[in-house]
Amino acid sequence: MTTMTETRPTSSRSMWAILALVLLADALDVIDATVTNIAAPTIAMELHGGQGLIKWLGTAYMLAMGVLLMVGGRLGDKYGQRRLFLIGMAGFTAASAVAGLSPDPALLIVARATQGAFGALLIPQGMGIMTKTFSREMLTKAFGLFGPLLGAATVGGPVLAGFIIGADLFGLSWRPIFLINLVLGVIGLAVAVRILPHDDGDHSAVVDGWGSGLLAAAMFGLLYGLIEGSTNGWTTIPIAAIVAGLAFFAAFAHRQSTAADPLLKASLLRNRGFTSGLLVGLTVFAATIGLVYVLSLFLQEGLHASPRDAALALLPLTLGIIGSAFAAMGGLVAKLGRILIFIGLAIVLAGCGWVLALVIASGTGLGLWSLTPAFFVIGLGLGCCSSTIFDVAMGDINPDEAGSASGSLSSIQQLAAGMGSAAATSIFFQAADSGLDHAMKISLIVVLGLVALSVPLVTLMPRRAPEETHS
């Protein structure tokens, strides 16, 4: 058996350089996951992609990321995290170039999926590298920086897209939102080659390729059927795709219960608190990420806001997330546990209800900036439960299950994002025949219903997050 070589940095400066590199990689992921929230209508118009392109722009990226994220972590264990980090960064950069230069919708969607796939190789390696090379004191500092800085990246993605499209740099319209990754990716790759410690990996580690393939086929079938059916009508093809997706998912579930080294340990699925957390996370993240996507569509298509103005109007939502997430990390999770999730969901429901009331009252005659206080309230609620759901879900698991559990939760978040953006845009466009205000009302009602349905499941979650999460 080949064992990993653990080379610890000899200086604080080395550790800070590695942290900066890992944060750059994670920021690239977060920005590219959110950048199309604002850019989608402009991209679809210029490439003549229509509703189908709008639906797939975010879904393709997050579907590939979610399906392959756990596999990416296992591949890093097997072949070495430095090697996988370099492959992931290089592939992500190349795929970004293809996305930025795509002449048609088909190539752009393929490029987005490829970005997500290489991102799934890249992102898990950073945490593994830091765990093996950082002192405990430095790890604590690193974990404290992740939330705020990635929250800023969440703000930066849509805002950056809005300003880039408005500036029309070199007459390239939306393309620089992807092409900027060339600069950042090449810098990141050069730094990574220089500073990342070498490791040989553990070649005895097992990667469940069959499980990954079945999950990929299941998610693609379900999302393709949903998007194709809502766009071009419920003919034989979308119905068959959904049936096939369900069959592949059943095969995936069977594989997880019988495989010697499954992607998701069977003991985790038998843990009521953990599975409840998975379901709450899946429902809440799918509903709210889908909501943010259709809000950007409504602002631009219904209220005729420019991409820049739409980004600025949504900025209070993300500021609300950052503010309440800071408070949660500051000790509220440790004190309140799952009660904080209840509080967060209640605030989300209140904010969504406020937006619904405004749309019912004024329709597409609504003033753009009258929505921003309600957006801020939604953000406050999401910040209370965005990381808290998964922190609390880990409350009852055994220490030897922590790695599998953490990878599963991260994958579920990405899959929820892909499912949410696909489902929400499908519902929005399906209802848009009766007017964009009607489409927004229906979308909000669906989100309110899903969030409300998740509330009883929170009672089945552990009462507290693990102590080490807050140490």
Instruction: Note whether 19 and 123 are same-domain residues.
Output: yes
237 and 173 within one domain: no
**What CATH number does the domain containing 187 carry?**
1.20.1250.20
333 with 425, same domain: the answer is: yes
Full domain range(s) for residue 234: 209-260
Residues found in the chain: 471
Interatomic CA distance for residues 216 and 14, integer angstroms = 38
Phi, psi of 321 (to 5 degrees): -60, -50
Phi, psi of 37 (to 5 degrees): -55, -40
What is the mean pLDDT of the segment spanning 381-408? 76
Q: Are residues 287 and 149 in the same domain?
A: no
- The tokens describing 93, both together, are 């950069």
Tokens 């580690």 belong to which residue? 205
Q: Which residue has the higher pLDDT, 174 or 66?
A: 174
- The mean per-residue pLDDT over the stretch 371-394 comes to 87
Q: What letter represents residue 259's amino acid?
A: A
With a cut of 80, say whether residue 136 has pLDDT above it.
Answer: no
| Token reading at 37 | 């929230």
Greatest CA separation found in the chain?
67
Spatial contact of 84 and 74, defined as CB atoms under 8 Å apart: no
336-356: per-residue pLDDT in tens?
888 999 999 999 999 999 999
Query: Which of 206, 162, 439, 164 lies closest to 311, judged by CA?
Result: 162
- Average pLDDT of span 97-109: 95
For residues 166 and 216, membership in a common domain is answered with no
Contact call for residues 32 and 157 (beta carbons, < 8 A): yes
- Based on the fold, state whether residues 68 and 130 are members of the same structural domain: yes
Confirm whether pTM is higher than 0.85.
Answer: no
Higher pLDDT, 119 or 10: 119
**Are 91 and 214 in the same domain?**
no
Instruction: Indicate if the pLDDT at residue 435 is higher than 80.
Output: yes
pLDDT over 80 (residue 281): yes
Query: What average pLDDT is seen over the chain?
Result: 84
Query: pLDDT > 90: what percent of the chain?
Result: 32
Q: From the centroid of its chain, how far is CA 212?
A: 18
201 and 213 co-located in one domain: no
- Judged by average pLDDT, the poorest of 181-195, 219-233, 400-414 is 400-414
Q: Give the whole-angstrom CA distance, residue 274 versus residue 201.
A: 29
Q: By C-alpha distance, which of 328, 327, 315, 329 is closest to 376?
A: 315
Shared domain for 304 and 439, answered yes or no, is: yes
Model confidence band, residue 198 (pLDDT cutoffs 50, 70, 90):
confident
Residue 193 shares a structural domain with residue 154: yes
Question: Nearest 5°: phi and psi at 123?
Answer: -60, -45
Residue whose token pair is 């929250």? 151
> Do 422 and 55 form a contact (C-beta atoms < 8 A)?
yes
User: How many C-beta neighbours within 10 Å does residue 239 have?
Assistant: 13
249: which DSSP letter?
H
Nearest one of 336, 361, 349 to 437, comparing CA atoms: 361
> Helix (H, G, I), strand (E, B), or coil: what is residue 118?
helix
How far, CA to CA in Å, does 16 sit from each of 136, 386, 466?
14, 27, 27
Do residues 375 and 320 both lie within one domain? yes
Q: Name the token pair of 31.
A: 């920005």
Same domain, 246 and 279: no
Confidence of residue 2 (pLDDT cuts 50, 70, 90): very low
- Tell me how many domains the chain contains: 3
Residue where one domain finishes, among candidates 187, 205, 223: 205
